[in-house]
């Protein structure tokens, strides 16, 4: 469970989507409502940390941008429903939370929106993981078998490629 908490806390910076992490954890949970509730609670804590870090970074960036840019250039507006939709689009999710903070959303509104969107998102993937428990278990057995080293190589390649793409504009 600590691994899930940590991974979802840094979900914006890793190449593995949170949906897969939650579904995998739910597929491994005890076959009980308590086991699934435990996964959902840990996932919620991880996502709230991730969202709050993104929000905090964007609020600091907003303060710096206001010092150097004209105030009219900072008119970005996302509402709660748009943030909920963005939660289901992995490439857009992190950017949406950055924009949400950058637009000057008050912290109490951010926390409520993050909590509600995360609850919807997590419940869906906990149910998916529980429903497809046997298929996900078979996939784990394949990965843990002889082919496991190729999965590790693929993860390393994806991580290096992601870092290179992020650093490319700076070079």
Per-residue pLDDT of the chain in tens (171 residues, 90 and over written 9): 666 776 677 676 666 677 777 888 888 776 778 888 888 999 899 889 988 988 888 888 777 766 666 555 456 677 888 888 888 887 778 888 888 888 888 999 989 998 998 999 899 888 888 888 888 777 766 666 655 555 555 555 555 555 555 555 544
**What's the pTM value of the predicted model, to 2 decimals?**
0.70
Q: In the numeric block, which tokens belong to residue 2?
A: 């600590």
Q: In the numeric block, which tokens belong to residue 143?
A: 């990965």
Residues in the chain: 171
Is residue 153 within 8 Å of 10, Cβ to Cβ?
no
């Amino acid at each position: 469970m600590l691994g899930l908490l940590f991974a979802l806390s840094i979900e914006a910076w890793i190449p593995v989507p949170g949906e897969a992490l939650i579904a995998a954890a739910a597929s491994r949970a005890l076959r009980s409502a308590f086991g699934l509730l435990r996964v959902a609670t840990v996932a919620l804590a991880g996502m709230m940390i991730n969202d709050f870090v993104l929000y905090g970074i964007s609020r600091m960036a907003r303060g710096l941008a206001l010092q150097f840019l004209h105030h009219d250039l900072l008119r970005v507006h996302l509402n709660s429903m748009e943030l909920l939709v963005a939660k289901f689009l992995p490439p857009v999710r992190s950017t949406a939370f950055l924009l949400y903070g950058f637009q000057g959303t008050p912290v109490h509104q951010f926390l409520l929106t993050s909590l509600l969107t995360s609850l919807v998102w997590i419940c869906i993937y906990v149910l998916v993981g529980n429903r497809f428990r046997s298929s996900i278990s078979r996939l784990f057995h394949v990965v843990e078998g002889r082919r496991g080293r190729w999965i590790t190589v693929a993860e390393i390649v994806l991580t290096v490629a992601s870092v290179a793409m992020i650093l490319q504009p700076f070079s």
